[in-house]
Amino acid sequence: MKKALTSLALAGALTASSQAAVVLQIDLSVSGQITFTATSNLSDATGSGDEFIYLQDFFTSDILSASGTFDDSTPNLITGDLTDFLGTSDSSPSLLINGNTNGGESGLRISSFNDSGAGESDYSTASPAFKGSATFTLSAADQTYFLNNSNTSGDVYAFVQNQAEIDDINDPFIVVGQWAVVPEPSSTALLGLAGLGFILRRKR
């Protein structure tokens, strides 16, 4: 589908916005799940285009191939109505772990969340970037990989599917805000260790 931007915030389009507010929170604390939840923070840019969002640098390093690294590169949706704030959810967002299987990729892609029929999403600096949430399944091995190999925050790009499209100056995009893992993976791991220690002490 041809991308069409009705309006574009130049600063957001040309550079990642390190000062942007968190618009998506990611929760890995529940066993076998990953949940994306919208915040009430305003979008950092205005524009319209394809209903893709790309969470840049979610992993600490590029993944050359999803196969062999993950049990499932397209986790199943448990429940979810996540969508752009100005749109209507189709209640079927999809998550792709490896957005570009032909080369190294360190981000996550969420797509197919808007019920517009035209496959487009809209953002405005006068409104929050997103609304709703989406929860997907993760195998135990995949969740462990996420916890041990993810960054704690990064930029959320709209209208692109992978890093290659961001690098292509002919592909329009905007940075609508930041994603953040809550609680941070290190905190989750520490809580797990504390719980294990408590159980072991009770057994003595």
The whole-chain average pLDDT of the chain stands at 82
Residue 27 counted as domain residue: yes
Residue carrying structure tokens 């709703």: 132
pTM: 0.81
Is the pLDDT at 153 greater than 50? The verdict is yes
Q: Which residues pair with 134 in a beta bridge?
A: 36, 80
According to the model, what pLDDT value does residue 89 have?
A: 93
Residue 73 counted as domain residue: yes
Residue 5 counted as domain residue: no
Residue 194 counted as domain residue: yes
The lowest-confidence range among 5-14, 28-37, 77-86 is 5-14
According to the model, what pLDDT value does residue 126 have?
A: 98
Q: What is the mean pLDDT of residues 121-129?
A: 97
Residue 2 counted as domain residue: no
According to the model, what pLDDT value does residue 183 have?
A: 84
155, containing H or E segment: strand 153-158
Residue 180 counted as domain residue: yes
The lowest-confidence range among 87-96, 121-130, 155-164, 166-175 is 166-175
Split into its structural domains, the chain has a count of 1
Nearest alpha-carbon partner for 50 in 113, 108, 92, 98: 113
Range of the domain at 139: 20-203
Residue 148 counted as domain residue: yes
Residue 144 counted as domain residue: yes
Is the pLDDT at 17 greater than 70? The verdict is no
Of 133 and 13, the one with more pLDDT: 133
Q: Which residues contact 143 (CB under 8 A, 6 or more apart)?
A: 28, 31, 32, 33, 34
Q: Percent of the chain having pLDDT more than 90?
A: 58
Cβ-contact 85, 129 below 8 angstroms: yes
